[in-house]
């Protein structure tokens, strides 16, 4: 049985490493299931809203609603996690997403727009929880391994997230056998997938990584810092033990995630509608979105490695450049060209991946276990609200102008994240910096 608060550094390291390995295994399993759930809204949400609302201009409302719901859920999951741990917070979030997906199915079956709106809001809880699960992988990770931990949580989403869009047609056929609209089929999958992910977390995420990290931090704080204190436990990251104010790194990380989310959601939301205008069928739409989601998650191990080795800010800057390239390809390529649409959406996903992992690492570096869930939840609220804004405005921009204008505008917007990285130039959240402070503490301990 794992001791809750071992008293020596070696014991704490052993407990931390054992619990971290188990945490990552459970998070990976939950993310595979959760990925299948989030793909439904991404793939057919705008098409379902367009059919039910009868207006292309309002097609982005679906993405806006479940993204707004994810904002509310991010705050709630953060608060519950801060009080009761990741296991309960994430488990409840996924189960709420399952209920929302079922509500969307009922709304589509009955043609009820009044039910569709709140159901999409609740469905957004699954999206928020799927993203917040990445934090569970970092609670017990050493500073130099945080990028890898984030990336492992994200890449495990790929299997379900890529499979979901490519099952649009068979799921549509399954829905029709039950007398349901074809576009409600992916939400049936989402309901089952989210419920399974929540059940996995509630039953298997033991010990709770956040609660254990807090106990280990308290044990380390009670011990006089000496030759065996590591950077994370000694509070030598971007904040000291007594520090209460967020550093520039946290603000920079939040800004990176917000800008990349706006650009990604806006273009992704209107791509299925754009493809339908150019006579692409549902199978092709599913292929494009599936490859887009693969690009969002599959490069995560490489991105995590680069974040840990090259640093957070260079990778975040690269995100802006890649998103600009995506906007240029989407704006300048003919809509009839499936390969170029695939390329544009793949670059869009890759840019989002670079920004999310680098931004998340900046935020984690700038917070302590005691404050982490509330800060992370609040930042994810901003990220989700920005996505909701992007979803709403995307339909309006395309209606007033064109898909090309939307894509190019989002690419230019992404470049704005590069100047904001100056915020991270304060207390640098790098591992070498932490190690230097640890060495200083060790030298003082020998005197």
Question: Nearest 10 degrees: CA dihedral of 127, 78, 22, 220?
Answer: 160
d(CA 268, CA 288): 10
Tally of helices (H runs) and strands (E runs) in the chain: 18, 0
**Packing angle, helices 9-53 and 209-222, rounded to 10:** 150
Instruction: Determine whether 279 is exposed, middle or buried from the number of CB atoms within 10 Å of its CB (0-12, 13-18, 19+).
Output: exposed
Using a 10 angstrom Cβ sphere, with 0-12 exposed, 13-18 middle and 19 or more buried, the burial of residue 158 is buried
7 burial class (0-12, 13-18, 19+ CB within 10 angstroms)? Answer: exposed
pTM listed for this prediction: 0.73
Nearest to 28 by CA among 123, 129, 134, 126: 134
Q: What pLDDT score does 260 carry?
A: 94
DSSP 8-state secondary structure symbol assigned to residue 298: T
What is the distance between the alpha carbons of residues 55 and 50, in angstroms, rounded to a whole number?
5
Q: What is the pLDDT of residue 55?
A: 67
Residue 97: name the closest of 37, 161, 43, 160 by CA: 37
Pick the CATH number of 21-211+225-441 from 1.10.10.10, 1.20.1250.20, 1.10.1060.10, 3.30.70.100: 1.20.1250.20
Q: Please tell me the distance from the alpha carbon of residue 165 to that of residue 350, in angstroms, as a whole number.
A: 18
**How many Cα neighbours within 13 Å face the side chain of 229?**
29
pLDDT tens for the chain, 447 residues: list them. 444 455 566 667 888 889 999 999 999 999 888 888 877 666 677 778 778 877 666 666 777 787 788 888 888 998 899 899 999 999 999 999 999 999 999 998 998 988 988 998 999 899 889 888 888 888 998 888 888 888 888 888 777 776 766 677 788 888 888 888 888 888 888 899 999 999 999 999 999 999 998 888 887 766 655 444 444 443 433 343 334 456 778 888 999 999 999 999 899 888 888 888 887 877 888 788 878 988 988 899 999 999 999 999 999 999 999 999 999 999 998 888 889 999 999 999 999 999 999 999 998 888 887 788 888 888 888 888 887 788 778 888 888 888 999 999 999 999 888 888 876 665 444 444 444 544 543 443 344
Position 427 scores a pLDDT of 46
């Amino acid at each position: 049985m794992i001791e809750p608060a071992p008293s020596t550094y070696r014991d704490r390291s052993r407990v931390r490493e054992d619990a971290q390995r188990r945490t990552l295994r459970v998070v990976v399993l939950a993310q595979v299931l959760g990925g299948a759930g989030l793909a439904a809204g991404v793939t057919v949400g705008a098409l379902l809203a367009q059919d039910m609302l009868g207006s292309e201009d309002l097609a982005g409302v679906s993405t806006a609603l479940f993204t707004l719901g994810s904002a509310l859920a991010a705050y709630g999951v953060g608060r519950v996690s801060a009080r009761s741990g990741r296991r309960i917070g994430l488990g409840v979030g996924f189960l709420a997403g399952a209920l929302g997906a079922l509500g969307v199915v009922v709304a589509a079956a009955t043609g009820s727009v009044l039910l569709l709106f709140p159901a999409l809001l609740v469905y957004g809880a699954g999206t928020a929880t799927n993203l917040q699960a990445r934090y569970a992988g970092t609670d017990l990770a050493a500073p130099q391994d945080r990028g890898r931990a984030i990336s492992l949580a994200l890449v495990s989403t790929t299997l379900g997230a890529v499979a979901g869009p490519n099952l649009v047609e068979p799921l549509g056929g399954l829905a029709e056998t039950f007398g349901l609209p074809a576009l409600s089929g992916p939400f049936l999958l989402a309901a089952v997938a989210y419920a399974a992910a929540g059940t996995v977390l509630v039953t298997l995420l033991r010990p709770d990584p956040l609660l254990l990290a807090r106990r280990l931090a308290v044990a380390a704080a009670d011990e006089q810092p000496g030759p065996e204190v590591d950077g994370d436990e000694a509070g030598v990251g971007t904040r000291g033990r007594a520090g209460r104010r967020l550093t520039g790194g946290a603000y920079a990380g939040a800004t990176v995630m917000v800008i990349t989310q706006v650009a990604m959601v806006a273009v992704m939301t209107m791509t299925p509608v754009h493809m339908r205008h150019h006579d692409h069928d549902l199978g092709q739409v599913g292929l494009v979105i599936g490859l887009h989601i693969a690009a969002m998650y599959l490069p995560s191990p490489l991105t995590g490695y680069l974040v840990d080795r090259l640093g957070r800010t260079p990778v975040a800057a690269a995100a802006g450049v890649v998103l600009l390239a995506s906007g240029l390809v989407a704006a300048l390529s003919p809509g009839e060209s499936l390969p170029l649409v695939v390329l544009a959406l793949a670059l869009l996903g890759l840019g989002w991946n670079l920004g999310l992992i680098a931004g998340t690492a900046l935020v984690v570096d700038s917070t302590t276990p005691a404050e982490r869930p509330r800060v992370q939840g609040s930042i994810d609220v901003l990220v989700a609200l920005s996505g909701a804004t992007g979803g709403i405005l995307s339909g309006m921009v395309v209606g007033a102008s064109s898909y090309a204008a939307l894509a190019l505008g989002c690419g230019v917007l992404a470049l704005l994240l590069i100047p904001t990285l100056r915020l991270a130039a304060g207390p640098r959240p790098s591992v070498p910096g932490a190690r230097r402070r640890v060495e200083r503490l060790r030298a003082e301990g020998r005197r």
